[in-house]
Structure 1
């Protein structure tokens, strides 16, 4: 019996979500895009694949620096 492939999401609207697949994919996606539609402008969050010793594979929210943050 093979072990399931488990991926956690860290940060943003998917924080704490855990996806489980029956087996490891041949080529895991390096990024995952989550689009939030809520009656206003769409909000796009991008998660990047990373690996931690404690949890294994996880997608972490990509932080985009704005010009305002760079000026501070």
Structure 2
């Protein structure tokens, strides 16, 4: 594993072959918390929202991350707070 300048681990794939034009993206919150992603410039600008779907033995769990751009080619994806509707919590609106 390679280390980022802040001490966080980067995968070898993410650290190999990067350029100054690539975007460095950090995830905060949820199941992707602490993950660092290098988005190659050839893929274009980072998406404003990313959806992460976790499939397991139970129901699927969906998390959405919203991008906050930083100076240069960096950004932070923050976990979007979940909003529960009355139907999701099992109570009926009266």
The bucket for the TM-score relative to the shorter chain is 0.7 to 0.9
Q: Could you tell me which runs of 5 or more consecutive residues in structure 2 were left unpaired when the two chains were aligned.
A: 1-18, 87-94
Q: Match of 2:30?
A: 12
1:5–1:24 contact (8 Å) kept in structure 2: no
Larger radius of gyration: 2
Offset, 1:65: 3.4
Q: 1:64 to 1:41 in 2, by over 3 A?
A: same
More strand by share: 1
1:23 aligned to 41, 63, 73, which one? 41
1:49–1:57 contact (8 Å) kept in structure 2: yes
Higher relative contact order (CA 8 A, sep 6+): 1
TM-score normalised by length of structure 1 = 0.73
Q: Which of structure 1's runs of 4+ aligned residues deviate more than 6 A?
A: none
- Give the distance between the partners of 1:58 and 1:33, measured in 2 at CA: 14
SS at match of 1:40: coil
- Give the distance between the partners of 1:27 and 1:13, measured in 2 at CA: 23
Q: Could you tell me which runs of 5 or more consecutive residues in structure 1 were left unpaired when the two chains were aligned.
A: none
TM-score normalised by length of structure 2 = 0.58
